[in-house]
Amino acid sequence: MNIHKGEQYVIPFEVTVGENAVTPASVDGVRIQIENRLCEYPNGELEYDTEDGTWLYPLTEEQSSSLYAGERKAQVAVKYGDDIVMSDIIRVVVMDSIIKRKWTE
């Protein structure tokens, strides 16, 4: 996965455990972390897109700008009752941008 410093959008994560898709109805919680920023479901910023079947990790212009360029880490965790399952670490490449000025309204 590649992102650029200064981008703002939601990053979709397709989450499965084995061959089973992880949906809000099938789990007690989901966490996605990129570097030091953790987003959670149900009591956090993660949302589920039922149309695409993906978990949406929100990323603001300020948050992406604060990431160091280069290879960063991400990980997903899913909670079922007392069980917690984590993904392998996902490689996220943060690309630098020459546009540094923030958007204003």
CA nearest neighbour of 42 among 59, 60, 23: 23
Q: Please give the share of the chain, as a percent, with pLDDT higher than 70.
A: 99
Residues 91/96/102/103 CA torsion (nearest 10 deg)? -70
pTM here? 0.91
Mean pLDDT of the chain: 95
Domain 2-95 coded CATH 2.60.40: yes
DSSP state of 56: E
Q: Please give the share of the chain, as a percent, with pLDDT higher than 90.
A: 91
Domain ranges of the chain: 2-95
Q: How far apart are the first and last CA of the chain?
A: 29
Q: Are 98 and 6 in contact (CB under 8 A)?
A: no
